[in-house]
Amino acid sequence: MFTGLSAFPLTPVTGSGIDTTAYARLVSRLAAAGVDSIGALGSTGSYPYLTRAQRAEAAKIAVDAAAGTPVLVGIGATATSEVLALAEDAQNAGAAAVLLAPVSYQPLTDDEVFGLYEDVTRELSLPLCVYDNPRTTHFQFSDELHGRIAALPNVGSIKIPGVPADAKARVDALRARILDTVTIGISGDAVAAEGLAAGCDVWYSVLGGLFPDAARAVMRDAAESERLRPLWDLFARHGSIRVVAAAATHLGLIGERVLPRPLRELDGAARREVIDTLRQLNL
Determine whether 168 is an active site residue.
no
Binding segment (CB under 8 A) for its own copies, from list 22-30, 113-121, 166-174, 221-229: 113-121
Contact call for residue 112 and its own copies (CB under 8 A): yes
# residues near its own copies by CB under 8 A: 33
Nearest distance in Å: CB 185, its own copies:
20
Contact call for residue 136 and its own copies (CB under 8 A): yes
- SS3 string, 199-258, reads CCCEEEECHHHHCHHHHHHHHHCCHHHHHCHHHHHHHHHHCHHHHHHHHHHHCCCCCCCC
Binding segment (CB under 8 A) for its own copies, from list 110-118, 202-210, 247-255, 273-281: 110-118
Determine whether 117 is an active site residue.
no
CB proximity list for 55: less than 8 A, separation 6 or greater: 41, 47, 86, 89
Binding segment (CB under 8 A) for its own copies, from list 24-32, 114-122, 170-178, 212-220: 114-122
With CB under 8 A as the contact rule, the residue among 107, 164, 252, 268 that binds its own copies is 107
* CA 139/CA 137 separation, integer angstroms: 5
Nearest distance in Å: CB 260, its own copies:
5
Cα separations (Å) of 97 from 69, 139, 186, 248? 12, 22, 17, 26
Q: Is 44 annotated as a binding residue?
A: yes
- The candidate with the shortest Cα–Cα distance to 145, out of 105, 188, 113, is 113
With CB under 8 A as the contact rule, the residue among 116, 145, 206, 218 that binds its own copies is 116
Are the C-beta atoms of 193 and 218 separated by less than 8 Å? Answer: yes
Helix 143-150 vs helix 110-123: angle between axes, to the nearest 10 degrees? Answer: 20
Contact call for residue 43 and its own copies (CB under 8 A): yes
Residues with catalytic annotation?
131, 159
Q: Which residues bind its own copies (CB under 8 A)?
A: 43, 48-51, 78-82, 102-103, 105-109, 111-113, 115-116, 119, 135-136, 138, 239, 241, 260-264
